[in-house]
Amino acid sequence: MRISTNQFHNQGVTSIQKHQADILKTSLQLSTEKRVNTPSDDPVAMTQINALKQTMSTINQYAKNGEYAKSQLVLEETAISDSISSIQRARELAIKMSNDTYNEANRKQTAAEVGQIIEQMRNMMNYTNSEGEKLFAGSNVNEPEAFTVDVNNPDFYAYVGSQNSPNYDVQANYGSRFVQIGFDDNNFLAPNDLGDSSRVRITDNGERVFGVPGGQTQFVDGTGTPLVDQPDHNILNVMVQFQKHLEAGDAPPDEIILDMDASLENLSQVRAEIGGRQNRIESQYDGGEIFKLSLEERRMTLEDMDIVQGITDLTKQQNALQMAQQVFTRVQDMSLFNYLR
C-alpha cells in the first residue's frame, strides 16, 4: 500500500483543523457559559430549550396580567369602600331624621347633605379607570355612564343594562372583562369566572353590585303618589327617594333604612369577593413562580455549561492540538526528497 506525501500532509492539516475547531467551540461555550449555543450543538436539546423558554415567557406574561388585574381590583375595592362609607353616613342621617326630635326645617337642611352623598355615590357607581373604562358596566366598559338618568323618571337613575336606561344594552348584563393569569385546560370563557382559576374578573355588573336585594322602598312623586313606572331598585334611587322625603319635611319610612342595610350587606359581600379574586391572583403567581423554577432548572441542565468540565476539555484539546502540530512537523520531514539530497 502506497501512501503519498500529499496524503500525509492532508491528514495532518485535517487533524489540526479539527482540534482548532474543538478549541474554538469549547472557548465559545466557556465565554457564554452555555453548552448549547447553536442548533448544531445539540438539536434535540435546543428544541427543548426553546419550548422551556416559551413556557417561562408565558408565565411571566401571566404575572404581568396579574399585576394589572390587581391594580384594577384595587380601584374597584376603593370605589365600593367609599360607597359603603357614604351609605353608612346616609343611614345615620335616616335614623336621626326618623326621630321626632327633628322638625321639618331640620330635615330640609339635611336633604342638602344627602344630595352631596348622592353625587358622591353616582361618581363611585360610574367609576372610570385610567383607560377610560367603566368598572361597573359589565362587558360595556366603554359606555359613557354605567348609571344614567331614568328615561321614565328623570329624577332617578337606571343601570345601562336596564330598559329604563336611554343607552340600554342587554350585553351589560352578561359577562365582564377578564384577564388570564394562568394556564387554562380548555380555553373556554364562561360568563363568569366561577371555578376557573386561570382567569380573573376585573369589572362587574353594576346592577349586581349596587342593586338592593329584595328592595322595599316605594318610589313616589312629590305628592306621595307611587310612580307608575317604578325605577330600578338600586341604592342610588333609594338615596334619591330618601332626599325627596327630607325635602318635603317628612321622616323617611323604615323601608329606606332596610334597603340601606340590604345594600350594605350586598356591597360587603362583593368586596369580600374582590378580596378572594386578589388572593387567587397571588396563588396563581406563587404557583407560576414555583413552576418556573422547575423549568429553569431543567433549562440549565440542558443548556448551561459545566465550567470545570469545560476547562478540563479545553486543556485536553489544547494538548491534542499541540501534539498534532508536532506530529505534522515530523511527518513533513518524511519525504523521499529528504533522502535524495
Residue type for 32, please? T
- Confidence bin at 106 (pLDDT 50/70/90): very high
Average of pLDDT values for 207-212? 94
In this structure, is residue 44 part of a structural domain?
no
Lowest mean pLDDT of 226-240, 244-258, 281-295, 327-341, name the range: 327-341
Q: Are residues 86 and 25 in the same domain?
A: no
- Confidence bin at 228 (pLDDT 50/70/90): confident
Task: Give the mean pLDDT of the chain.
Answer: 83
In this structure, is residue 39 part of a structural domain?
no
Of 283 and 336, the one with more pLDDT: 283
Percentage of the residues of the chain whose pLDDT score is greater than 90: 52
Q: Are residues 206 and 249 in the same domain?
A: yes
Average of pLDDT values for 195-209? 86
In this structure, is residue 26 part of a structural domain?
yes
Neighbours of 273 (CB within 10 A): 13
Q: What is the DSSP letter of 159?
A: E
Contact status, residue 127 vs residue 139, Cβ threshold 8 Å = no
Domain containing residue 265: CATH number: 1.20.1330.10
- Confidence bin at 206 (pLDDT 50/70/90): very high
Q: Are residues 108 and 157 in the same domain?
A: yes
Q: Are residues 97 and 146 in the same domain?
A: yes
pLDDT at residue 5 in the model: 58
50 pLDDT above the threshold of 70: yes
Lowest mean pLDDT of 26-30, 146-150, 180-184, 316-320, name the range: 26-30
Q: Are residues 25 and 68 in the same domain?
A: no
Neighbours of 283 (CB within 10 A): 14
Average of pLDDT values for 35-42? 72
Average of pLDDT values for 107-135? 93
pLDDT at residue 92 in the model: 96
pLDDT at residue 19 in the model: 55
Cβ neighbors of 270 (< 8 A, separation 6 or more) are 80, 204, 208, 209
Q: Are residues 15 and 163 in the same domain?
A: no
191 pLDDT above the threshold of 60: no
Let me know if 195 is exposed, middle or buried by CB neighbors in 10 A (0-12, 13-18, 19+): exposed
Of 324 and 138, the one with more pLDDT: 138
Q: How many domains does the chain have?
A: 2
Q: Are residues 316 and 229 in the same domain?
A: no
Measured torsion, CA atoms of residues 307, 308, 314, 320, in degrees rounded to the nearest 10? -160
Percentage of the residues of the chain whose pLDDT score is greater than 70: 75
pLDDT at residue 42 in the model: 77
Range of the domain at 22: 9-33+308-332
Q: What does the chain come to in residues?
A: 341
Q: Are residues 282 and 324 in the same domain?
A: no
pLDDT at residue 1 in the model: 44
Contact status, residue 14 vs residue 22, Cβ threshold 8 Å = no
Lowest mean pLDDT of 45-59, 94-108, 110-124, 291-305, name the range: 291-305
Which residues in 247-256 are b (16+ Cβ under 10 Å) and which e?
beeebbbeeb
pLDDT in tens, 130-186: 888 999 998 888 889 999 999 999 999 999 999 999 988 888 887 778 888 988 876
In this structure, is residue 38 part of a structural domain?
no
Residue type for 141, please? V
Q: Are residues 228 and 318 in the same domain?
A: no
- Confidence bin at 79 (pLDDT 50/70/90): very high
Neighbours of 179 (CB within 10 A): 20
Q: What is the rounded distance in angstroms from the CA atom of residue 159 to the CA atom of residue 136?
A: 9
Q: Are residues 280 and 327 in the same domain?
A: no
pLDDT in tens, 257-308: 999 999 999 999 999 999 999 999 999 999 999 999 999 888 777 766 655 5
Q: What is the rounded distance in angstroms from the CA atom of residue 305 to the CA atom of residue 308?
A: 9
In this structure, is residue 91 part of a structural domain?
yes
7 pLDDT above the threshold of 90: no
315 pLDDT above the threshold of 80: no
Q: Are residues 90 and 125 in the same domain?
A: yes
**Residue in 237, 275, 293 with CA at minimum distance from that of residue 60:** 293
Q: Are residues 55 and 19 in the same domain?
A: no
